[in-house]
């Protein structure tokens, strides 16, 4: 749409400056362009500048949005993870997700041994009893599971 190409950038900058909220600004610009599409007579130039009309619609959309928010009870809005947690916590969360993805790629036998030994903290004998396998097999599977896990994490770029 030609209107989008000509005016969207300026409309967004205007809406962002007024609202201070990127999401609200994007919604206002989208609504203005939708209204222009629904009412082509408003932007055909016979009644004045299409740009001025679009700016007015954006301003009105933002005002409507603020009124709507003011009339509704305030709900808590989820804050971005970076606002809640510091850089170390965010990095740790990403590493935890990567580890979970890597563990999911292991064989079932390797996952089971690591689950009992590492997650639940069971000894070799306890793990062997719970899985119904010899203690030597638990040791062997744990060794190969950790090697496989390290290999997967290396491929993912987390271990060097």
How much is the pTM? Answer: 0.44
The percentage of residues in the chain with a pLDDT greater than 90, rounded to a whole number, is 24
Range of the domain at 35: 2-71
Instruction: Tell me if 76 is assigned to some domain.
Output: no
d(CA 103, CA 105): 5
Q: Specify whether 87 is located in the same domain as 141.
A: yes
Position 80 scores a pLDDT of 58
Of 15, 48, 71, which residue constitutes the final position of a domain?
Answer: 71
Whether residue 142 contacts residue 95, with contact meaning beta carbons closer than 8 Å, is answered with no
Q: Looking at 18, 50, 71, which one is the last position of a domain?
A: 71
Query: Where do runs of H (alpha helix) occur along the chain?
Result: 2-19, 22-38, 50-71, 81-84, 87-104, 108-114, 124-131, 135-156
Residue 117 burial (CB count, 10 A): 20
Tokens 């606002």 belong to residue: 83
Q: Name the domain count of the chain.
A: 2
Average pLDDT, the chain: 81
In a domain, 44, yes or no: yes
**Are 99 and 139 part of one and the same domain?**
yes
Residues 85 and 67 in one domain: no
């Amino acid at each position: 749409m030609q209107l989008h190409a000509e005016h969207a950038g300026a409309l967004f900058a205007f809406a962002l400056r007024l609202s201070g909220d990127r999401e609200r600004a994007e919604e206002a610009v989208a609504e203005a362009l939708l209204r222009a599409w629904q009412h082509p007579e408003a932007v055909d130039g016979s009644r004045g500048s299409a740009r001025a009309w679009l700016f007015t619609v954006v301003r009105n959309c933002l005002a409507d949005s603020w009124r709507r928010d003011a009339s509704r009870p305030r709900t808590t809005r989820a804050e971005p993870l970076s606002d809640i947690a510091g850089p170390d916590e965010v990095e740790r969360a990403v590493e935890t997700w990567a580890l979970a993805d890597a563990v999911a790629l292991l064989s079932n036998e390797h996952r089971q041994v690591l689950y009992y030994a590492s997650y639940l903290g069971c000894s070799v004998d306890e793990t062997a009893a719970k899985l119904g396998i010899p203690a030597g097999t638990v040791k062997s599977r744990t060794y190969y599971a950790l090697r496989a896990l390290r290999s997967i994490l290396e491929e993912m770029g987390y271990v060097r």
